[in-house]
């Protein structure tokens, strides 16, 4: 083999390895650009909102501390122990200070396949801060932390269907009550916030719920340790845009206030999310809420919903109800919480095909009870549906193989006259009733379907740590013994032998090496991935 041919083959191999590694590199070594903090008096308003509506300044929402470039990010300190809540799906901690949810462990999801401790999603670790906050925006109330009290410090759902955790506080004649309601088997937490004005003066404010998170995409502490280059950031839904994605970089450069009568705000990552959903999100009635995003500096971001402003005379009360979803991105769960929340399971622009594929895969799983078998059967079903096209493609390829000797003769006869050779070949194809692209077009039609299948496999949390057979214990990660890549390479080689060889000898040699390149590029990716994991 000539030296230049070897160089071309090596370049192709390196290009494949680079493409496979690029996404993982971004996830594990991406460094966000410095955030542009939003000052206390700055307000950014969505252009679609009416200019006649007064701007809601959500910057008075109390964050854990005032955050600056030189200050460590810490949650509000509490002198008392957190209130712990145990359900069948959660182990959760609520701080008495401001009633902030500071820790959520998902009991049905292990941290890793080998580490059986529950996956901790929300936490108050300074390096991976992730909190769910709620309260009332009011200048006087937001001056200091509010300490809530509860009847107990430990709550357990046990055999009950629902569990209520009630927190109460009194500040300057204002009685505040937060009631968290947990339901058996549900990741949807109901929150009722009530205010009774006994101050002797009028009171003006607005309820809010927000999620505060430090960008942790450079670490695997919160992200699924085997996640690929999937989206991590903020997603919003409003009457103007039913599904809007905002990266942390976008939020740093453009804070938002979006006035809407229907919608929600969420923080998403691979397989999991947290979302604030106001009471009117499902019906779209009542006064306008404000969905907001903010950068607080030092890679910390917040998103949430501020409810309409209310004014109470002394003796009057106000109540707000909302939902907080913290858990896996399972479409059936999300559909019951709010419209469009299931769109956080992002299948891309082929979502309508992906939805159909996932429906079929779920139906098959309900029968066979194994996600790996379900994937094989749904792939077989897709191939069966496309069998007429595939058969046509194979027949066309078989005819092309029979014509290879004649094509070789034409090349020998008209090798120096490319135009004449092309004319003779076209006449031969017409005479033999062969379409030279007939073997490719049927395959091209199938490409969108298999891209949609790829996104289903990438986005389905059901495959996380799901066993298949023998040595495969987690369908969301690589084959530890590389048996599947080898089988893939063998199948590629067999298919190549069934197809006619490319007319260009150089192309034929490159195609011959493609199965080997695919196998070793997978092996290189896996080894390099292990190096990345051990270094983080």
The arithmetic mean of pLDDT across residues 173-181, rounded, is 97
CATH architecture designation of domain 82-345: Distorted Sandwich (2.70)
Assigned token pair, 76: 């509000």
The arithmetic mean of pLDDT across residues 508-534, rounded, is 53
**92-114 pLDDT tens trace:** 999 999 999 999 999 999 999 88
Exposure string over 475-507, b if 16+ CB within 10 A, otherwise e: bbbbbeebeebbebbeebeeebeeebbeeeeee
pLDDT of residue 288: 84
pLDDT of residue 62: 52
The arithmetic mean of pLDDT across residues 154-178, rounded, is 96
Closest CA relative to residue 258, chosen from 472, 495, 396, 58:
58
Segment among 224-228, 245-249, 293-297 with least mean pLDDT:
224-228
Exposure string over 199-210, b if 16+ CB within 10 A, otherwise e: beeebebbbbbb
Inform me whether the pLDDT recorded for 293 exceeds 60. yes
pLDDT of residue 99: 95
pLDDT of residue 465: 92
Distance, in Å, from the CA atom of 11 to the CA atom of 421, rounded to the nearest integer, reads 31
Question: 81: pLDDT confidence band, cut at 50, 70 and 90?
Answer: confident
Question: 359: pLDDT confidence band, cut at 50, 70 and 90?
Answer: very high
Q: Where are the alpha helices (DSSP H) in 163-226?
A: none
Query: For the whole model, what pTM was predicted?
Result: 0.77
Distance, in Å, from the CA atom of 39 to the CA atom of 307, rounded to the nearest integer, reads 21
Inform me whether the pLDDT recorded for 27 exceeds 80. no
pLDDT of residue 157: 97
Q: Between 7 and 159, whose confidence is greater?
A: 159
Assigned token pair, 265: 């705000």
User: Where do the structural domains in the chain lie, given as residue ranges?
Assistant: 3-21+356-535, 82-345
Distance, in Å, from the CA atom of 462 to the CA atom of 328, rounded to the nearest integer, reads 9
pLDDT of residue 223: 41
Inform me whether the pLDDT recorded for 21 exceeds 60. no
pLDDT of residue 508: 61
Whether residue 92 contacts residue 176, with contact meaning beta carbons closer than 8 Å, is answered with no
Contacts 24+ apart (CB under 8 A), 461-465: 461/271, 461/272, 461/328, 461/329, 461/330, 462/330, 462/362, 462/365, 462/371, 463/371, 464/109, 464/224, 464/271, 465/109, 465/110, 465/113
Distance, in Å, from the CA atom of 443 to the CA atom of 438, rounded to the nearest integer, reads 9
Question: Count of residues for the chain?
Answer: 536
Inform me whether the pLDDT recorded for 405 exceeds 90. no
pLDDT of residue 298: 87
Residue whose token pair is 């923080």: 267
The arithmetic mean of pLDDT across residues 41-53, rounded, is 32
Mean of pLDDT over the chain: 79
**432-473 pLDDT tens trace:** 878 776 666 667 788 899 889 989 999 999 999 999 998 999
Q: How many CA atoms within 13 Å lie on the side-chain side of 399?
A: 17
pLDDT of residue 79: 47
Inform me whether the pLDDT recorded for 250 exceeds 60. yes
Distance, in Å, from the CA atom of 221 to the CA atom of 227, rounded to the nearest integer, reads 12
pLDDT of residue 279: 84
Inform me whether the pLDDT recorded for 30 exceeds 90. no
pLDDT of residue 32: 37
pLDDT of residue 357: 96
Inform me whether the pLDDT recorded for 77 exceeds 90. no
Inform me whether the pLDDT recorded for 36 exceeds 60. no
pLDDT of residue 38: 32
HEC string of 129-148? CEEEEEEEECCCHHHCCCEC
Inform me whether the pLDDT recorded for 74 exceeds 60. no
Inform me whether the pLDDT recorded for 532 exceeds 60. no
Inform me whether the pLDDT recorded for 216 exceeds 50. yes
The arithmetic mean of pLDDT across residues 498-510, rounded, is 60
Question: 66: pLDDT confidence band, cut at 50, 70 and 90?
Answer: very low
The arithmetic mean of pLDDT across residues 203-210, rounded, is 94
Inform me whether the pLDDT recorded for 526 exceeds 70. no
pLDDT of residue 285: 43
């Amino acid at each position: 083999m000539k030296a230049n041919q070897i160089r071309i083959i090596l370049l192709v191999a390196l290009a494949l390895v680079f493409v496979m590694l690029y996404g993982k590199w971004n996830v594990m070594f991406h460094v966000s650009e410095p955030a542009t903090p939003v000052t206390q008096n700055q307000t950014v308003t969505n252009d679609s909102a009416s200019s006649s509506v007064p701007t809601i300044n959500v910057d008075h929402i109390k964050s854990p501390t005032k955050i600056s470039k030189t200050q460590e990010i810490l949650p509000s300190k509490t002198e008392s122990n957190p209130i712990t809540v145990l359900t069948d799906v959660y182990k959760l901690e609520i701080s008495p200070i401001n009633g902030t949810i500071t820790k959520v462990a998902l009991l049905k999801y292990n941290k890793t396949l080998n580490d059986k401790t529950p996956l901790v999603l929300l936490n108050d670790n300074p390096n991976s801060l992730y909190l769910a906050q709620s309260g009332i925006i009011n200048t006087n109330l937001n001056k200091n932390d509010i300490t809530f009290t509860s009847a107990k410090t430990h709550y357990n759902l046990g055999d009950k269907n629902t569990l209520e955790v009630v927190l109460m506080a009194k500040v300057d004649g204002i009685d505040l009550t937060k009631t968290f309601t947990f339901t058996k088997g549900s990741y949807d937490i109901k929150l009722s916030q009530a205010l009774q004005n006994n101050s002797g003066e009028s009171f003006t404010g607005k309820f809010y719920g927000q999620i505060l998170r430090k960008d942790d995409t450079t670490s695997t502490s919160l992200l699924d340790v085997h996640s690929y280059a999937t989206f991590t950031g903020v997603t919003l839904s409003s009457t103007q845009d039913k599904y809007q994605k905002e990266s942390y970089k976008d939020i740093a450069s453009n804070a938002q206030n979006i006035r809407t009568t229907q919608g929600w705000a969420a923080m998403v990552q691979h397989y999991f999310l947290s979302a604030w959903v106001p009471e009117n999100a499902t019906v779209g009635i009542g006064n306008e809420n404000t969905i907001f995003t903010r950068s607080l500096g030092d890679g910390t971001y917040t998103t949430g919903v501020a409810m309409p402003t209310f004014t109470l005379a002394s003796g009057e009360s106000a109540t707000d109800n909302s939902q907080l979803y913290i858990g896996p991105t399972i479409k059936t769960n999300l559909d019951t919480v709010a419209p469009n929340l299931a769109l956080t399971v992002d299948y891309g622009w082929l979502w309508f095909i992906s939805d159909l594929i996932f429906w079929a895969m779920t139906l098959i799983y309900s029968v066979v009870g194994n996600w790996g078998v379900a994937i094989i059967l749904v792939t077989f079903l897709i191939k069966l549906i496309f069998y007429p096209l595939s058969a046509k493609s194979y027949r066309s390829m078989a005819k092309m193989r029979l014509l290879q000797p004649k094509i070789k003769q034409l090349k020998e006869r008209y090798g120096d006259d490319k135009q004449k050779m092309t004319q003779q070949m076209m006449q031969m194809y017409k005479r033999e009733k062969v379409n030279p692209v007939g073997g490719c077009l049927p395959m091209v039609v199938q490409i969108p379907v298999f891209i949609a299948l790829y996104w289903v496999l990438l986005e389905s949390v059901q495959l996380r740590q799901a066993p298949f057979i023998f040595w495969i214990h987690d369908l969301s990660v690589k084959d530890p013994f590389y048996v599947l890549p080898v089988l893939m390479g063998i199948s590629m080689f067999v298919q190549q032998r069934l197809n006619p060889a490319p007319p260009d000898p150089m192309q034929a040699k490159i195609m011959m090496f493609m199965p080997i390149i695919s196998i070793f590029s997978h092996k290189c990716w896996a080894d390099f991935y292990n190096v990345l994991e051990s270094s983080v």
